[in-house]
Amino acid sequence: MLDDMRKKIDAVDLEILKLLNERTGYVLEIGKRKAKENTPFYRPEREREIFDRLEANNTGPFPNSAIKIVFREIMSASLSLEKPLKIAFLGPVATFTHQASLQHFGLSGKFVPKRNIAEVFEDVEKGRADFGVVPIENSTEGVVTHTLDMFVKSELKISAELMLEVSLCLMNKTGKTEDIVKVCSHPNPLAQCKGWLKNNLPDAVLCDVSSTAHAAKMAEEETDVAAVASAAAANLYNLRIIEQGIEDTQNNYTRFLIISRNESNATGNDKTSLVFAIKDSPGALYKMLRPFAARGLNLTKIESRPTKTKAWEYLFFVDLDGHTADENVKAAIEELAPVCSFLKVLGSYPKSVKEPA
């Protein structure tokens, strides 16, 4: 009986393989047409459409949560035959940005770690990378200001976003808490678990470093150093995890942006990001908000930053529901423009769903 069931599974596996090759043939044909028409090979909105359709038509028992994982790798492998994607990300490897890159593009992309956010933007701007992945904000520690600043001077567009659940681990070489003298990590993860560290390692020296992966490398080399990093970093640097999930707040998410030279088409479930400076005048704040409120547009985020060119002048970064192809969004931006001294649309892109680490 068991052998019969296994034979049936084997037959299904062969049919799946046959269909995968058939699907890949269609993908390659589309790739040839895209090359002739000089259109982008990778479209985030098309990927979202596929995921949504498959989940809507899934009758089980295969879980919906696994559909995206499986088909992301299918699409990643197929796309690599069309044109291997080169993705620049804020490195080094085994950081949460690297993890976000893998989850968004699949394992078949070519991932290039960069030393800082400016280098990620530069690689994409100069065509050395097709896409870039940068962090933009954490649910507990707030915005990544350097990413915001880069958008002011860059002509790149946001083509997608990813919300990644961040689970932080304490790790060192020996696996023993008593060996820890110093705890190292990027400032944001240290801040995200400062309560746990204060309660459990009150005498340890906290040390800011450039990344969680750098901290893990330090812990690999020095037995009195512990790192706050991801489980992937522990595997890469041969460290022992002392405690998992040490972040102070549950549902700890970091939002990442996918940047490129191309804009994304509308999906019907999109977000638009803007940056602008308003002219100093009575009622300026009201004039900024009125175009959106009058059209019932939901502003999901407002962040201000100094312009750095004149004292007490600020840039406003705004996220809103909708796409610039939507008439109400387009009209709101057109009404906003005359009251601004500076206005730029950073991109319209598919809304992210929260993904586990």
- Annotated catalytic residues are 254, 256
Closest C-alpha to 353, from 1, 43, 68 = 68
Question: Which amino acid would we find at residue 328?
Answer: N
**Which residues make beta-bridge pairs with 79?**
none
Q: If you ran DSSP here, which 8-state letter would residue 58 be given?
A: -
Separation of alpha carbons 190 and 254, rounded Å: 14
Q: Do the Cβ atoms of 120 and 132 come closer than 8 Å?
A: yes
Q: What's the half-sphere exposure (Cβ side, CA atoms, 13 Å) at 300?
A: 10
Q: Do the Cβ atoms of 204 and 198 come closer than 8 Å?
A: no
**Which residues make beta-bridge pairs with 156?**
none
Question: Which amino acid would we find at residue 221?
Answer: E
Residue indicated by tokens 């020296």: 205
Tokens at 63, concatenated: 């879980």
Question: Which amino acid would we find at residue 278?
Answer: I
Contacting residues for 351 by C-beta, under 8 A, at least 6 apart: 161, 269, 270, 271, 321
Q: Do the Cβ atoms of 51 and 71 come closer than 8 Å?
A: yes
